Structure formats: C-alpha cells, structure tokens
Amino acid sequence: MSAESQKAKRERVVEVCRRMGEMYPHVESALSYHSPFTLVICVLLSAQTTDAAVNKVTPELFRRWPTPEAMAEADPAEVGEVIRTIGFWRSKSQHCVEASQMIVSDYGGQVPSTMEDLTRLPGVGRKTANIVLNKAFGICEGIAVDTHVYRIASRLRLTKADTPLAAEQDLLALIPSELWSPVNEQWIHFGREVCMARSPRCAECQLADLCPSAGQPNRYFKGKAK
C-alpha cells in the first residue's frame, strides 16, 4: 500500500472538518466563564481535569476572587482549599495567583491578547493561549490540541507526533487556516461522544470511511481521556 500524499491527506482532513461542522454546527465550550480573566483561570484549571469538575469549583472561586486584582491578593493556600477537588490543585492554585499578579503588574489588569504575552503567564501554555485568543478575542493563531484532538488526529493518521504540541504543527500544515477556529470544540465533542479513548464507537462513526484506524483504534491510542 503506497503512502498517502500530503495533497490527499489535506483533502481528507478538509472533509473531516466539513462533517464535523455538520455534526456540531453551534458547539460551545463546556466551561462556565464570563470574561477573559475567568476564561484564563478556567482553562488553566482544566488541564488533566474534566470541565465538569472545574465548573463545580469556579462559582465559589470567582465569588471570592472575581477579578485579577482580587486574586492577585489571594493566599494560594486559600485558593487551594477552594479547588482541592481537581487534579494538581496545589500547583494550579499557585498559578492562579501568580498569573493574576502578572496580569495586574504587567498588563494593567487586562488579560493580554497575544500568544507571546499569554504564554508568559504562569500556568498558561500554547493550548490554553489558543483557547483564550479564540474565545475571548476572536483571534485564531493555531489549534488547541488537548487529549481528544491529539487522539483523533493520531487515529486519523494526520500526525505521528509524540506530543500534542508537535501534533498541532502537523495539523496546522494540513488544515486550511479558515477552518482552524472550531476544530478544538468540535473534536472534543466528537471525542466524548464517538471516538472515545478506550471504547470508540467505530461501527457508528460518521468518519469511518475517512479513518485508516477504524476498527483498530487502540493501535493508535494516544494519551488519556479527559
């Protein structure tokens, strides 16, 4: 069997995106936020934790510290007590306070709107920055590759990368830039409903004819389900 050309792979992923758009035309984030600042904190907290778990702790978190100025003055130990039901709560509580302090000291209390500045914030990597830019500012500089996007891209053989960060570069090279914006949310929903990590529904998958791994998904399993 000959290797798939880049042209054929691009055509295939464009069709994947088209079908995803039909399946999830108005998909929204599962995280509950109401401002760029609360979005930063929510996405920061969601790393290796479910969105549902984050949504359980953020009402009290934002009641007590609703602004960067308020959270910049918080004791990380007190923040930790509020979020201790989520994974890595100790480091995340420290990042919440330190990121808020930088937002106040370096950006006048306003969440910055560039990739370079966002990724300066403690606890904020490229994935988080992509989400904040897209949802808070309508700026799309890349694709936020979480465990769902990484797993689906691997099963579709769009990437052989060993990390989500490297996988993003493969996806950016294949997917036209005008299609980047909805990829994260659409693929997350697809990953939760159809292309699950351990028991994917390949027989019912709307992308089965486009997926070289259909029927043998565990061979191309990447990462853990979120």
The count of other CB atoms within 10 Å of the CB of residue 213 is: 19
Q: What is the mean pLDDT of residues 119-125?
A: 97
Q: How far is CA 209 from the centre of its chain?
A: 26
| Residue 45: partners with Cβ closer than 8 Å, 6 or more residues away | 54, 57, 58, 83, 86, 92, 96
Reported as a pLDDT band with limits 50, 70 and 90, residue 215 is: confident
* 211 and 169 assigned to the same domain: yes
> Residue 159 maps to which CATH number?
1.10.1670.10
Looking at the fold, whether 84 and 175 belong to one and the same domain comes out as no
Same domain for 150 and 120: no
As a whole number, the mean pLDDT across the chain is 94
Comparing CA positions, the residue from 173, 121, 111, 187 lying closest to residue 142 is: 173
Domain at 67, CATH number: 1.10.340.30
Q: Is the pLDDT of residue 155 over 70?
A: yes
Overall number of domains in the chain: 2
Which of 65-79, 142-156, 205-219 bottoms out in mean pLDDT, i.e. has the lowest?
Answer: 205-219
Q: Are residues 117 and 67 in the same domain?
A: yes
pLDDT tens sequence across 22-61: 999 998 899 999 999 999 999 999 998 999 999 999 999 9
Q: Using the predicted structure, report yes or no on whether residue 225 has a pLDDT greater than 50.
A: no
Do 128 and 46 lie in one domain? The reply is yes
DSSP category for residue 5: P
Identify the active-site residue in 92, 127, 135, 222: 127
Q: Which of 51, 92, 135, 146 is catalytic?
A: 146
Whether residues 111 and 162 fall in one domain:
no
Count of C-beta atoms within a 10 Å radius of residue 92:
25
- What pLDDT is recorded for position 222? 47
CA 121/CA 101 separation, integer angstroms? 9
| Domain stop point among 90, 105, 137 | 137
Share of the chain above pLDDT 90, in %: 91
Q: pLDDT at residue 123 above 50?
A: yes
The answer to whether 222 is a known catalytic residue is: no
Whether residue 44 contacts residue 96, with contact meaning beta carbons closer than 8 Å, is answered with: yes
Q: Which of 15-24, 33-42, 211-220 has the lowest mean pLDDT?
A: 211-220
Question: Is residue 220 scored above 90 in pLDDT?
Answer: no
Give the torsion through C-alpha atoms of 137, 142, 146, 151, to 10 deg: 150
**Known catalytic residue: 209?**
no
In a domain, 77, yes or no: yes
Q: What is the pLDDT of residue 224?
A: 39
In the predicted model, what is the mean pLDDT of residues 183-203?
95
pLDDT surpasses 60 at 7: yes
Q: Residue range 80-97: average pLDDT? A: 97
**Containing domain of residue 116, as a range?**
36-137
pLDDT at 223 over 60: no
Q: Is the pLDDT of residue 219 over 70?
A: no
Q: How far is Cα 57 from Cα 88, in angstroms, rounded to an integer? A: 14
Give just the sign of the alpha carbon dihedral 69, 73, 74, 77: positive
